[in-house]
Homo-oligomer: A and B are copies of this chain.
C-alpha cells in the first residue's frame, strides 16, 4: 500500500510561478533597458559616463579650487556660485556612484545569467533611480538658470569659467536623459506584475 501511494496521490512539482506571471516574465525578459539586460547595462554606462564627465569638469575647474582656498575674499555672488556648483557636484557624484554600482550588478547578472526580477530589487532600483534622477535634474535646471543669468554678463564671466560650467550642466542633463528610461522601465516592470 505504501508502494501504491505515489500512484494514488500523483503529486506534481508545484510551478514556481502561476501562468500569467510566467508569461509576463518571459515577455519582460525581452524588454531591453531593464536591469539584467544588455540594454540596461548600456543605459547605466551612459548615466555613469555623463555624470562622471560633469563631475570631473566641474571639480577640475581652477575656480572651484581657488575660490574654495581663498574663501575670505568671497563676494556674495562667488558664494552662491560656489553653493550651486557644489550642489551640482554632489548630485552628479551621487548619480555616478549609483549608476556605477548598478552597472556592476548588471554585469554580474549578465555573467551568471541571473534574473534580477524579484520585487524587492526592482522596488529598490526604482526608488533609487527616481531620487537620483530628480536630484540631478534639479541641479541641472538650477545651474542652467544661473549660467544663463550670469554667464552672459561679461563682467562676471571673466571671473567664473562659464564654458566649463555650461559643459558640466549639459552633461548633467544628458545623464538625466539616460536615467529617465531606466526609471520608467523599472517602474513599469514593478507595476506590471
Contact = CB atoms under 8 A, between A and B. Distances in A.
Interface residues of A, number: 27
B77 A153 contact: yes
Contact of A80 (B77, B152, B190): B152
A83 interface: yes
Nearest to A87: B145
A112 interface: no
Nearest to A19: B20
A81 to B, nearest CB: 8
Contacts of A189: 191
B149 A77 contact: yes
Interface of A: 20, 76-77, 80-81, 83-84, 137-138, 141-146, 148-150, 152-153, 184, 187-192
Given A188-B187, A192-B192, A137 B146 contact: no
Contacts of A187: 184, 187-188, 191
A107 to B, nearest CB: 27
Contacts of A80: 148-149, 152
A28 to B, nearest CB: 11
A153 B76 contact: yes
A83 B148 contact: yes
Contact of A188 (B76, B141, B152, B191): B191
Contact of A149 (B137, B141, B150, B190): B150
